[in-house]
Homo-oligomer: A and B are copies of this chain.
Amino acid sequence: MESNLSLFYGLSFLTAAIAFLFALYLYLWVKKVKVQNKRIEEVSKLIKEGADTFIRREYRILAAFGGVVSIIILLFLPSPIWTGNVMMNIAMALSYIAGTVLSAIAGKIGIIVATLSNGRTAEAAEKGLKPAFLIGFRGGAVMGLLVVGCSLLGVAAVLMITGDTTILLGFSFGASSLALFAKAGGGIFTKTADVAADLTGKVELGIPEDDPRNPAVIADNVGDNVGDVAGMGADLFDSNVAAASSALVIAATLSGNGLDTISMVFCYSLLGLIASVIGIATAKVGKNGNPTHALNSSTYVTTAVFMVLTAIATAVFPGFSWRIWGASATGLLVGVIIGITTDYFTDDTKPIVQKVAHASASGPAFTILSGVSYGFVSALPAMIGIAVSALVAYNLCAPLGDGFAIFGIAMAAVGMLSIVGMIISNDAYGPIVDNARGLAEMGGLGEETIRIADELDSAGNTVKAVTKGFSIGAAGLTVISLLGAFMSEVNAALAERGEALITGFDIMQPTVFFGVLIGAAVPAVFSAMLILGVDRNAQRMVSEIHRQFNSIKGLREGTASPEYGKCIDIATTGALKELIPAGLFAILMTLVVGFVAGVEAIGGFLLGNIVSGLLLALFMSNAGGLWDNSKKYVEAGNEGGKGSNAHKAAVIGDTVGDPFKDTAGPSINTQITVVSLVSSLAAAAFVAFSIF
């Protein structure tokens, strides 16, 4: 059968270029808006400087880490350099570096645009909701387009140049390892500042959020950028690359049936990007409109466009299969369903958030207990959704031939992630309008402007729940297919040694079971390490804030300025110190289990890791969102409103939820992906050198 692959390589580059051009247009559109308020310009500059400093220092550490890993890769992967093809090792190391660099660039540009948009959004809010929404959204969209464009470009380039999917895993590992640390570092930074600012400001001093007297307020705004823009962007860049890579690794092992699977992966990915471009271009709030609706409806537009475009492509191109289209559509639909059910648990117009708010009236212990409980319950529908979509995708594609079933799961993940450009735009919109709210407060723009900024901010929080459901679901499907990729790598290594291939991982085998138990404990320990990082760091910052209020005269009255820089320093130094250990722990556990107990144990290890990781990620993200919104619900005047006992309890819940939802929960995704990729890359080494 004639493959259209070169056509799709070309189209992939073209689409990436279109996305970059569109991003550039949006960037210039945002940039040409004039900033007039001096105070806002000044504060905005402080935020930008803080974010730049952190990113510079973080990237320096990550560059060192990446350098060490590149050398290890050069020496040992895909096979020890003295035994195999030197060029392959060089290609692997280079593609690893390319993965880290592209991820870093996307993060850096995201921050540039976000810190450019925040002040402009704040000022535009003086004119009304419509213009402010558009600046915030378009600022976020630059990030969305860049991330997906870089991902498509990188994957297509690496595969076209090397023609080897194992090397593609190296690229994906580069993206993942950067994401792991960027997410952890940014997550610790942002929650350190947020928690410390809330506890001292709201709880102890009773001053409003974003009050300029609070020494942590700039650090808090910096955190939104480094955590929610750069960290989240790296995270979704990673997911996107991993989903495409695992689909391609599996596709490369498929043959027969006249199907052009590799072309299909690229075609669907690029159509997803085009759908996102259309969704982004059409996003706006109507008159008296509601920004939540605007964000959600552009998500639905993207979804529909993607399904239609892929259906057309499937009809037009020879070698495309309707069954695979079905698998990818299933993934996307289930993603939407997971998003909607997740929303049920975290939306303050729905009963769950109100119940937690009501429980808060009896004291903080009840806030925590009910939030933890509903957080656990909320995991069930998403777990069922992932399970069902995997099962459907598998069975849809199984009739196509050997190995197609697991390819179906990979394509469900690709489908779920197809609209990731749109998702990132929505996600990055959040920190921009959050910053804008802070700037409106600090710039003294008046109550009506703050109210509009609040409305924009609240929309950001609501869609966040939906997009998080999406990204966790997609990560779940991706790692299931990475399990398939791992098995392919193991069998390739076994075939080379002339040993018997494995057909799967039987849980009745004790080594598999052994791996499952240990793999399941890893995400728990990993997230605990991150939370403890925030915990320690926030305690340091709280002490610093106390010191400033005690030693700077006039600070409480607003006649003197706090030393914002000190707080930014504490957040930066602390985050950088805590950023490596947790990720390293996960990687080392994988290597220890693999070299001690072999590939069967790693199969189990990955399963345990995926399952407990998904459970904990869903639990933490949803419980955190639930607490956040139930605090807002109380602040809106329910259960006694601001200052009541219920409010105090709800604030404690929100503080507990902060590192759950913005540090540990989303990092678990990346942890699972990294561990899966490490396993695939080290598969041959495990086969050759494991003790048992």
Chain A contact residues: over half helix, strand or loop, or mixed? helix
Q: Tell me whether A534 is interfacial, beta carbon within 8 Å.
A: yes
Interface residues of A in 570-614 (CB under 8 A from B): 597, 603-604, 607-608, 611-612, 614
- Complex contact B387–A518 (CB within 8 A): yes
- CB-CB under 8 A for A508 and B525, given A364-B364, A516-B607: no
Asked whether A511 lies within 8 Å of B391 as measured between CB atoms, the reply is yes
Binds B, one of A26-34, A66-74, A652-660, A675-683: A652-660
Task: Flag if B509 contacts A504 (CB, 8 Å).
Answer: yes
Contacts of A379 in B (CB 8 A): 521, 524-525
Q: Using Cβ atoms and an 8 Å threshold, which residues of chain B touch A388? A: 514
Chain B residue at minimal CB-CB distance from A540:
B362
Question: With an 8 A cutoff between CB atoms, is A51 at the interface?
Answer: no
Nearest chain B CB to A627's CB is how many angstroms away? 10
Distance A619 CA – B517 CA, assembled complex (angstroms): 14
Complex contacts, A534 vs chain B, CB 8 Å: 369
A672 an interface residue at 8 Å Cβ cutoff? no
**A395 sits at the interface (CB 8 A):** yes
Q: How far is A599 from B531 in the complex, measured between Cα atoms in Å?
A: 39
Tell me the A508-534 residues at the B interface (CB within 8 Å). Answer: 508-518, 520-521, 524-525, 527-529, 531-532, 534
CB distance from A504 to the nearest CB of B (A): 3
Assuming the A-B contacts A199-B365, A364-B652, A607-B516, are A372 and B531 also in contact, with contact meaning beta carbons closer than 8 angstroms in the complex? yes
List the B side residues contacting A614 at CB < 8 Å: 517, 520
Comparing A121-129, A142-150, A415-423, A479-487, the segment that makes contact with chain B is A479-487
Taking the complex as formed, is A394 at the interface, i.e. its CB lies under 8 A from any CB of chain B? Answer: yes
Contact with B along A482-509 (1 / 0, CB 8 A): 0110010000000000000001111111
Residues of B within 8 A of A507 (CB): 483, 504-507, 512, 603-604, 607
In the complex, A195 has a CB within 8 A of chain B: yes
CB neighbors of B among A371-386 (8 A)? 372-377, 379-380, 383-384, 386
A334 part of interface (Cβ distance < 8 Å): no
Chain B residues lying within 8 Å of A531, measured Cβ to Cβ, are: 369, 372-373
| Cβ of A359 under 8 Å from chain B | yes
**A395 to B375 Cα, complex, angstroms:** 39
User: Which residues of chain B are within 8 angstroms of A199 by Cβ–Cβ distance?
Assistant: 362-363, 365
Report the Cα distance A203→B364, complex, angstroms: 12
**A16 to B: closest C-beta gap in Å:** 33
Q: What is the minimal beta-carbon distance from A199 to any residue of chain B, in angstroms?
A: 6
Q: Which residues of B contact A383 (CB under 8 A)?
A: 517-518, 520-521
Q: Which residue of B is nearest A607, CB measured?
A: B507
Distance to closest chain B CB from A381 (angstroms): 9
Residues of B with C-beta under 8 A to A639: none
Q: Which of these, B195, B366, B405, contacts A365 with CB under 8 Å?
A: B195
Distance in Å: Cβ of A135 to nearest Cβ of chain B: 34
Q: In the complex, what residue of chain B is closest to A611 when comparing beta carbons?
A: B520
**Pairs A–B under 8 Å by Cβ, sample size 17:** A369-B535, A372-B531, A373-B527, A373-B528, A377-B524, A379-B521, A383-B521, A384-B521, A387-B517, A394-B510, A476-B517, A483-B508, A504-B509, A507-B512, A507-B603, A521-B615, A611-B611
Known contacts A365-B655, A390-B510; 14 further A-B pairs (Cβ under 8 A) = A199-B362, A199-B363, A366-B538, A366-B539, A372-B656, A373-B528, A383-B517, A387-B515, A387-B518, A391-B510, A484-B508, A504-B509, A507-B607, A517-B614
Q: Name A residues whose Cβ lies closer than 8 Å to a Cβ of B.
A: 195, 199, 203, 359, 362-366, 368-370, 372-377, 379-380, 383-384, 386-388, 390-391, 394-395, 405-406, 409, 476, 480, 483-484, 487, 503-518, 520-521, 524-525, 527-529, 531-532, 534-535, 538-539, 542, 597, 603-604, 607-608, 611-612, 614-615, 619, 652, 655-656, 659
